[in-house]
Structure 1
Amino acid sequence: MSEEPGPPPATQRFWIGVLFECCGVYARIYRKLDVKCYSGRCPKCQREVTVKVGAGGTADRLFRARPPR
């Protein structure tokens, strides 16, 4: 009995968790493959957030996004 090969494994999508303080909601935002940053929007008000990736950064995976004052 031969086994059919399964679907190829999905590529790993890098993400960070963000608490959008503007609306009190949490969301994952994903890293853009062609740019060294994570980019996403608040699920409620669509406020945009971008987090740069680079040397000397942090290993933290959870962040807070605060609205500008």
Structure 2
Amino acid sequence: MTDQSPTPHQPRPTVGVHFKCCNVYVNIYQNHAGTAYAGHCPRCTARIEIPIVKQGGSASRFFTGS
């Protein structure tokens, strides 16, 4: 279990994603393994996965998908 895993009383971490394909904004959630944020466009179901890296990662909480 990783240090960032949510407890039953904490919500799962999210990041915001703007899907350019359908011009929609959604929050995607951290996967249960704590290795990535994964989700899909609610209109066309285009998938996105943003890996979580220890070094050299991004501090951004907002991303753009295609």
Band the TM-score falls in, shorter-chain normalisation: 0.7 to 0.9
- Structure 1 residues without counterparts, runs of 5 or longer: 1-8
Report the count of equivalent residues: 58
C-alpha RMSD of the superposition: 1.3
Q: Percent identity?
A: 36
The structural deviation recorded for 1:56 is 1.1
- Structure 2 residues without counterparts, runs of 5 or longer: 1-7
Q: Which residue number in structure 1 is paired with residue 44 of structure 2? A: 45
Q: Which residue number in structure 1 is paired with residue 59 of structure 2? A: 59
TM-score (norm 1): 0.77
> Deviations 1:37-57 (Å, cap 9, x if unpaired)?
000000100000000000210
Larger Rg, first or second structure (1 or 2): 1
